[in-house]
Amino acid sequence: MSKTKTADILGLSWSARFAIIDHFKPTDSVICEVFGVDADELNTARELRGKNTIAVDTTIDVSVYDSFFNPKSRRTTTTHTPARTATKTKRGKRGNKIDTAFQAVTPTPVPATTFATKHDVSLAVL
């Protein structure tokens, strides 16, 4: 099977084009794009076919034109990995416990161990 070029399909007669159209059953927009015609020319050709002025070519090998109507995707799928930061993420508890503990400081002295357990902060923070 030889590879068919765009120039080859543009030079086909309407008899051959209708054989291809009947085989693949593409939409009008695809027909116009592949054959390089506008909608008016396509409608005129259909009218002539309806009046038996144009007959469908039954000898054409339509499988040669498969690539025009059933294009295979040539794209490869790629997976993008998210960008990694230079610093590792911090582990452990998050939140505002330290801020809450500092805001809860009273004017009267309280032992550090009881204050740390009450506000769930470490002694190193205090």
Its pTM stands at 0.53
Place of tokens 């550090």: 112
In the chain, where the domains are located: 6-69, 94-126
Helix (H) / strand (E) element for 13: namely none
48 to 7, 14, 42, 58, 65: CA distances (angstroms): 24, 10, 10, 17, 23
The per-residue pLDDT for range 59-117, each reduced to its tens digit, is 999 888 888 887 664 455 666 677 776 676 666 666 677 777 777 777 888 888 887 88
114 to 90, 96, 100, 107: CA distances (angstroms): 27, 19, 15, 15
**Residue of 81 and 45 predicted with greater confidence:** 45
Distance CA 61, CA 56 (A): 13
Query: What is the pLDDT averaged over residues 46-71?
Result: 89
